């Protein structure tokens, strides 16, 4: 079987690699979750306001849109976790991330979204540290993909997601 050729501008760290969920995978995920906002803030401190309009590829989101997107995406993720931890296999509400990226608030300065991302990642990390093995087996339904996700899968996905977008931003300057 041929492996899929990935555009390195779109997937600079590859696609998410879901593996068996062990304590080591959880530890690695938490480290990525905690590192993402630190890396993002450090990178943003090194670029000008004009650079926020640069994109990682033709037709791709600008750095400004990516920063607002990670805040929105991870805010939704935290809500999905809370629903899955407090309800039995809830159906989550999907959203159109491309349409959200066109809303007026995506043109604002990035600091408010960076603060949101930092706070959400801190809360997410602390939540993961106290979740039980049974908690990670809890699920939610994503109706857009017609798929049931376990919280162990979602943990790996969102640990990857923040680093994925930071790598896209890094790629602009290489």
pLDDT in tens, 138-147: 999 999 999 9
Q: What is the pLDDT of residue 7?
A: 87
* pLDDT confidence tier of residue 2, bands split at 50, 70 and 90: very low
DSSP per-residue codes, 74-93: HHHHHHHHHHHHHSSSPBP-
pTM of the model: 0.94
Please report the domains of the chain, with CATH numbers, ordered by start residue: 23-172 (1.20.120.450)
Question: What region, left, alpha or beta, does residue 149 occupy, with left being phi > 0 and alpha being psi -120 to 50 degrees?
Answer: beta
| CA nearest neighbour of 170 among 58, 31, 13, 50 | 13
Inform me whether the pLDDT recorded for 136 exceeds 70.
yes
How many alpha carbons lie under 13 Å from residue 54 in its C-beta half-sphere?
15
Q: How confident is the model at residue 174 (pLDDT cuts 50, 70, 90)?
A: confident
């Amino acid at each position: 079987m041929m492996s899929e050729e990935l555009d390195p501008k779109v997937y600079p760290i590859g696609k998410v690699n879901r593996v068996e969920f062990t304590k080591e995978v959880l530890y690695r995920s938490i480290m990525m979750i905690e590192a993402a906002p630190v890396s993002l803030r450090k990178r943003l401190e090194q670029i000008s306001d004009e650079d926020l309009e640069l994109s990682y590829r033709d037709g791709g989101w600008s750095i400004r849109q990516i920063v607002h997107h990670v805040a929105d995406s991870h805010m939704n993720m935290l809500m999905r976790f809370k629903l899955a931890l407090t309800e039995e296999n809830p159906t989550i509400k999907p959203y159109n991330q491309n349409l959200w990226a066109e809303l007026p608030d995506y043109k604002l300065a990035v600091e408010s979204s960076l603060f949101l991302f930092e706070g959400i990642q801190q809360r997410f990390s602390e939540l993961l540290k106290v979740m039980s093995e049974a908690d990670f087996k809890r699920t939610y339904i994503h109706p857009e993909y017609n798929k049931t996700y376990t919280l162990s899968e979602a943990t790996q996905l969102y640990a990857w997601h923040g680093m994925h977008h930071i790598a896209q931003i890094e790629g602009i300057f290489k």
